[in-house]
Amino acid sequence: TPGLYIVATPIGNLGDLSPRAAEILSAADVIAVEDTRVTAGLLRHIGTKRPMTPYHDHNAEQVRPGLVARMGSEVVALVSDAGTPLISDPGFKLVRDARAAGHQVVTIPGPCAAIAALTLAGLPTDRFFFLGFLPAKEQARATAIAEVAAVRATLVIYESGPRLSACLSALATGLGDREAAVTREITKKFEEAVTGTLSTLAARYDDAPPRGEIVIVVAPPEPPAPASAEDGEAALVEALTRLP
């Protein structure tokens, strides 16, 4: 049925494309893509050829109204080069405008580097805060890190190899030397997750910037310790008085 279909695609291993994703892509009247060459490869893998139209930050404003108009009578699919559209990738305004126009919006969930990294890191996952890419410039990055220093959640950050060490150092400075994990090339041949404190990880990658795609996962801050033993005891006594 016509509408907008948000289709998650593999982040490295083509085997992760879901049967439902393959079904929708094969049936799409048009697929909005970041890079036609990348998506052409995926379509080849599932043995289909569908019309594609580039949709990225530089042309989205011009292309969006036309795509939204087509959703009334056609199957319009949105994919990214890899992973889940809208997650550090274009798409949110397309969904917003599709809804405003009264079109059906359907999601075909699947791989997402942020979630995959959380499953590898061995850090708490009950509360997490996704930061996407931090600013590239040092000062803006420090500000962005300071803004989340008090957030009581695991942090998830997208980063590139050449900037990894500097980013880890900035995180150690801004957050304290917390436990962290550097996950790399998830679902690919050289998948790895390296754990340690932010400063040891920064040192490890300082003169050996790693290749490939990276997600940094940082442990939440330690819960505040009672200021002294007496304070701790007082807090305990106070808590006991509240018990039914």
Binding site residues, ligand SAM, CB under 6 A: 11-12, 80, 82-84, 87-89, 112-114, 158-160, 183-188, 213-215
Closest residue (Cβ) to ligand SAM? Answer: 83
Residue 64 beta carbon to ligand SAM: minimum distance, rounded to whole angstroms = 19
Closer to ligand SAM at the Cβ: 52 or 114?
114
Residue 219 beta carbon to ligand SAM: minimum distance, rounded to whole angstroms = 19
Residue 82 beta carbon to ligand SAM: minimum distance, rounded to whole angstroms = 5
Is the distance from CB of 237 to CB of 226 less than 8 angstroms?
no
Is the distance from CB of 39 to CB of 32 less than 8 angstroms?
no
DSSP for 68-112? HHHTTTSEEEE--SSB-TTSSSS-HHHHHHHHHTT--EEEE----
Closer to ligand SAM at the Cβ: 26 or 187?
187
Contacts of 62 (CB under 8 A, 6+ apart): none
Supply the DSSP symbol for 223. Answer: P
Closer to ligand SAM at the Cβ: 29 or 81?
81
Closer to ligand SAM at the Cβ: 177 or 191?
191
Q: In one letter, which amino acid is 112?
A: C
Residue 177 beta carbon to ligand SAM: minimum distance, rounded to whole angstroms = 22
